[in-house]
Structure 1
Amino acid sequence: MRVPVKLLGFGFWLFFLNCARCQECLREDIKYDNIEPVAKASYADGETVRVSCMTGYTGLYKLKCEKGKWKQSIERPCAKKKCSHPGDTPNGDFELKDGTEFVFGTMVVYTCKKGYEMASRINQRTCRDKGWDNAVPVCEAVRCPVIRTDGEVIASGNTEEGNYGDVIHFECVSSDKKIDGSSDIHCKETGEWSDADPKCKEITCTAPVISNGYVVEPLPEYQKDAILKYRCNERFKPREGIPRCAKFGWTLNPECDEVTCEVKSTTFGVQNISPKGKTIFKVGESVTLTCSYKYWIFPAKETIKLCTCQDNGQWDYMPVCEEIRCEVPHDQHVYYPHYYFRGDMKLEAKKSYSCESGYSKTAAEATCTRDGWTPKPLCAEIMCAAPNIENAEIVGGQRLNYRINSRINYKCRPGFEPQQLVQITCDSQGQWTGIQQCRAMCAAPNIPNADIVGGQQPYYRINSTIQYKCRPGFEPEQPVQITCDSQGQWTGIQQCRAMCVAPNIPNADIVGGQRKNYRINSRIKYKCRPGFEPEQPVNITCDSQGQWMDIQQCTAMCAAPYIPNSEILGGHKPNYKINSTIQYKCSPGFEPEQLVHITCDSQHQWTEIQQCTAMCAAPYIPNSEIVGGHRPNYKINSAIQYKCSPGFEPEQPVNITCDSQRHWTGQKNCTAMCAAPYIPNAEIVENYRINLTIKYRCSPGFEPEQPVQITCDSQGQWTGIQQCTGLKARQYDENIPESSRDVNEDAEIY
């Protein structure tokens, strides 16, 4: 009975033990970031624990165990501790590698500025639990070597201990020399000078490359003070000044600037401008300017103008709108113009004025217009109109108007008086004084075939009397007197009637002798000279008009034609009538070979004459035959063909031509050829030309056994022939093959 009781008690103990454990809180249930583990693995119900942060973190948690659960009473989450500023280093910078704040674990890296180098061994600092580790790094300046120069160069600056950025300036002691190299060098961040120490050299310059231009007569090298001559390409201009070679190069940089023109104003007085917004124009480019009312482009005096930029950089017309103003009207005969025309002289302004003596106003007042002052002219000169004098002409030509006090001369036309010059004057009223009217006269009488006694004048006064006499060959033969009447006409005129003068008939003679004149109706006879027709005498009559009737001209006949190497059929006459026809024939050996007809034409020339031209005689070519038969003569330019006889060459037909000199061209002589040589027991098949060489070989069993060469000589004979003679039987039997012993030829030509 005691055992079960004990077992029951042990069960109760276990139960209560488990219940107590159910009220505890475990360490592993505390789950916060960056905390240190608490001391015990578990805590009893009601027990309190303080939770601390890891090293480098700050914060606090206070927890209480309640029925197996942790309850917090204080909560300050763990966060990284902050560090102060890490510190700046002179001539250097630092960079935060992680994050944006200076907190536990953060690293900053220091670098030196350009021209400085790190003097510290460690170049970084890290934020620790107690603050920054390491010291702030130090940057020291980079230094360059000492500068050493020769006696010709002066160096200024820190030459002994140059720091980064220091500049050393060099100059030559002599003003006639310049630095050969860099005149200024600086200490670089690498601790080296930017260039080597320079030397001094003579001052020279080289010809530069000029954009849009070129150097005139370039030299390899220019000495000090030498002038550089250069020119610019078309549409470019050189800059002002003269480049001279100096210590630092050319005193003026030789450059070519593009030629341009500028529009000064695009608004004042401008209504429109095209293109808009553009003020700089190249050569050849244009701008169109339209001016507002009361403005124009001067001096063109136009409202709209196309202005073009010229090669010299100037506008052909300046694109500027100017206010329209009228100028003081000088040279318009306005009295004291500066007095009347002053003050406002803009467009539409009006001015009163007076004119100089001898001029009158054309309006009450003058108005300024685009064309200047109107009316035009302001003052009109008082003048005389051209005088109207019938039958007269102004000496020196007539003008439309004449000034006051001017004098002119006029002269009455022929047939009017007075005949001397008359002078008239334009008076102050614009009227002519001293005018005399021109009165008619009698013109010199026109009497054909008559002469005025005492000489003829062009005109005669009214009632004057003159005499005339008919010329020889005209009647009446006594002097005739005539009078100039009051109407300017001649009275008493008798016409001179012609007589017949001795006829002029070329190549004729008057029968019975010739006289100077012949009366009306008289008859004479004439005869043509030998060689002219008609051949019979001709009668002619002087008619009432003083002309010879029935004249027949003596017409030349054709002289007998001279045609060398010909004969006229029917016999030869000294002369032949017009239109007569004759025949002639050329002598043998001349052409044409047929009869020729010729005619004496109206110009007494023979028409259609053909000269007798020599022909070529038949050619004589020995040992030949003309193809187509032989004729005694051949015409010029005719061609024939001949062929040499057999045994002569050339063997082909030959063409020859009768030329203009009657010679045969292309002729070749027929030259004998050699007949095939006769060599017993050999066969010859053709002829051979002169100088031809051939060979032959004797048939087997004949000698000579070697080949023989023969030649056809100039006589057509073969030279060098050797006969083929038979060999002895033994030789024949021994040397001649069996197959060749029945051959008939003793020799073979090859």
Structure 2
Amino acid sequence: ACEQAPPRRVKEVPTETWNNPPYPHGTQVTYRCRPGYIKYGRILFECDDGVWKQRLPQTECRNKPCGHPGDTEFGSFQLTAGDEFVFGARVEYRCNDGYRMLSQKNYRECQADGWSNDIPHCEVAKCLPVKAPENGRIIMTGAFELNREYYFGQVVEFECNAKYKLVGSKKIHCSSDGKWDSDVPQCQDIICNEPEILHGFVRSSKKSYKESEQLQFACDEGYTYGERADALCTESGWNPTPYCTEIICSPPTVPNGNFRPQEDSYREGAVITIECNFGYRLGTLTGKNTVQCTRSGWVPAPSCIEKPCDYPVIENGKLSSRMVGSYFPMRIGQYVDYYCLNDYSTPTGEYWGRIFCSKGGWNTEPKCLKKCHARQLENGYFLENWKEFYKEGERIKYACHKDYDPENEDAEITCTKSDWAPSPRCVRKKICKNIELDNGFFTLRKTTFGLQEEVTYRCRSDFVTPEGKETGVIRCQENGWTPPPKCIQSCKKPHGHILNDHVNKTVFLPGVTLEYTCPEGYQTADNMPTGTTMCDINGEWKPVPQCRAIECEMLLLPNGHVSPREGKYHNGDVVKFFCAKNYVRVGPASAQCYYFGWFPPPPTCKVNPRGCGPPPVINNGSIAGGSLEQYQHGNITEYECDNKFKLVGSKEIECVDGQWSSPPSCIEDKMPCGSPSSIPNVVVLHQQDQTQFPPGHEVIYECKKGSSNAKRMKMKCLNGEWKPLPRCDDPSRQCVPPGDIEIVNVRTLPKQKKETGLRKVVWYKCKSADNSIKQATCVSGKWLPDIDCKGESTCPPPPQLRGAKQVPVGRNYKNGSKIAFSCQESFHLVGESEITCINGKWQSPPYCV
């Protein structure tokens, strides 16, 4: 049976209503077409094993045809939906160019009952009527009809009345969209605005001109008007167009001559030089051979004409008396005679001269040349002197007698218009004489020396040349000895001083300044390690270099004594302080002699110095081994920092007459740590040993067998140290007091956390030192702080220098301890910045100056 009703399809539906499923096997259902479709054959579905199946599957309902939709005049259509004119098809109409759609709908659709609506209609496009412009009219064939419509493609033409010009399109066209392609033009007054003339200007200018009005203009210098210097206002604008062009002259044609410079063109003001061929001259009588480019062309006109023979001008001569009545200019072939004045000669040396008029003018220029006579010469004589006289332009040489030289180097003179040049003259030879030289002498025993001759001179003892040498070389020049010989007093190298510059020199000139350094234990007169001195003109050093031994006066210690006891102490000497019986030292145990005196100041000796309460509390740190409630004068204790912090300063502080010395500080510092295997009795587990471990690294360790602690523990690298520091000592190990101390008191304290065994505190005196009582605590077999009675290996507190930054003061400066100094702002460090404790003495400290 079929559980569902027969299927409803897009084009077909059952002919009856089937609403009561199920339907038994074999039930048949007949189908009909929906509206708009036509059935071809019988459509039958049958229930077959629960499924509706179509019998005769080739039968179906197809789209109903509508036939041709119909053509429209002045237009066309095309299918926009479907491929045939059947139910569901759609056609759209469009009008030809120049026509427009009148119908509201431009399409038809194929429906169940045929094509929808009527065929769309197209009619020709029309443009609105136009009016003639003001002061103008419409030009057209036939009679003009007012308010007439125009069809697509029609043209309307316009023109203006006299005195008016058309602004806009002369013709307008009715377009396919029913609109004119341009606006109706306007007829406006014919007005010309004042033009902008490049390189020119308007005369009597005004903003605008009416038709037929005239404009006058002019051009800038170097320019000229194009066609005319005026223009007329017309409907099409200025006529002719006013403009200025640059005045240009073309290269001229010069028969029988040439010109320079030669260019392609020349601007106004350009000048050229005319060069006429032989026998020709410039056609103008201006006396100049140049012409200029003007707006009228070349002025004067360049031309070369035949050159006649004019009256000759003869400098220092005259025409023959028989020529006085002759006429000039002369013709070709004629001649004139001339003669020269006294002290002048013709080029041939004759008294008379003759010139002929030729095609190129006078055949030669009439000249009268100066006569120069070569007679006697004072202190000399002329060479090859066989002429009576020499003419202008000729040359001759001369020589001089012994001890004389020609004034001009080549000894040659020329005859000129003003006689010999240069004048022949023999002058006495220039020499240099041996001079009396202060503090020196010439090595040659001559009295005179010739030019360019070189001489060596030597300075006497303690004197040197300006170059700092014993001998000098000078040369004889026209202005004397060069350089002038001179011996100046010198300064010898100072003895017993260390020079900081000019180390290899032994002689010094006046004005030279030297810097010297005093040896260890010495200082200058103004108490400095270095000094300066200058060589004066007398060969003496000023001020005299001095290095004095550094000395300190003997110190006095009431109720005590100083050791060793001397009358004077030298730089670097160390003294120790000792108090009398029943007196206790309050202050340093020793002091050292420096360039500025003793440091530190001596202590005092008291009968009952005050004790101290608990040590000061510091951030991130505490007293190693725990703190007591009361401490005696001289007691020393140590600080240690918490994990992650580093100790800066001296870890020890001392109770001094009721006050503790300055404590250290604990800061965070990310430094690497060394190998933990270097710690006594420590064995590192699960970790490969290495020389350095980074900050924050943890290692697991245990103590070696036989140590008091058998647990596995952790330690971390903090500020370059392992924290907590492993204690793997044998608990049975005791602290053994050294033999050079005297124990005053002993006390046993309970153990601290994480410690084994008891902690023993002793108060002691050093047998070799004064009566100061000191304290030490036995912690895990080690005295804290260390018991040290070897005073000779300990330096006093380091010096505090004037002008230097404060040096942190600690305790127990042992052999090899170092202290660094730096100066305050505006001070300069002189000397080494770091000193070392060597055999109980500090090296000499630097200066801050």
TM-score past 0.5 threshold: no
| Higher Cα Rg, which structure | 1
- Higher RCO by CA contacts (8 Å cutoff, separation 6 or greater): 2
Normalised by the length of structure 1, the TM-score is 0.29
| TM-score, structure 2 normalization | 0.26
